[in-house]
Amino acid sequence: MTNALLVYPQQPPTYWGSDFALDIVGVKAAFPPLGLLTIAAMFPQDHDLRVVDMNVTSLDDSDLERADMVFTSTMIVQRTSLQDVIERCNRVGVPVVAGGPHPTTFHDEIDGVSHFVLDEAEEIFPEFLRDLANGAAKAMYREPRKPDVTRTPLPRFDLIDM
């Protein structure tokens, strides 16, 4: 795998959300996709990484055509958008790796995902990448231990336009 696309699904507008205030302060999203940016820092240097935050920009077919694999991190409120991303990836034959609170809680209800990285990915993600490179990636990786944040790499903020 050389081209990894990291996709942060869209959050729906909500009554209590900040969506309608964002225009006032001149930003498109309230916060960056920190989980995906942290995971991005764990990829080997020879990988071409792209991030699509669907709260800021659309996920285009051309993004999927370039991708060898799509990685997502999803909260429960983003589940509908995640399902759309999975279906689009499945249609074009791009494998999906799903993580975050929603897949951790409801992975048995999510179809079309090639690999799940559940709980705290910081500790288990390097093992997943090694297994993937060796053609032996499992369907599910779990890491219940909390990560040592003093060893967690700095997020790849260079991959997004802040």
Number of domains in the chain: 1
User: What was the pLDDT predicted at 145?
Assistant: 86
Closest CA to 78 of 53, 95, 96, 61: 53
d(CA 62, CA 41): 24
Other CB atoms within 10 Å distance of the CB of residue 9: 28
Q: Which domain holds residue 132?
A: 3-159
Q: Is the pTM of this model over 0.95?
A: no
**Ranges of H-type helices in 30-144:** 34-40, 61-66, 79-92, 101-106, 121-133
User: What was the pLDDT predicted at 25?
Assistant: 60
User: What was the pLDDT predicted at 141?
Assistant: 98
User: What was the pLDDT predicted at 29?
Assistant: 64
Taking only the tens of pLDDT, the chain with its 162 residues reads 689 999 999 988 765 566 666 666 665 666 789 999 999 999 999 999 999 999 989 999 999 999 999 999 999 999 999 999 999 999 999 999 999 999 999 999 999 999 999 999 999 999 999 999 999 999 999 988 898 889 899 999 999 986
User: What was the pLDDT predicted at 12?
Assistant: 86
* CATH value at residue 154: 3.40.50.2300
User: What was the pLDDT predicted at 28?
Assistant: 60
Structure tokens at 78: 């983003």
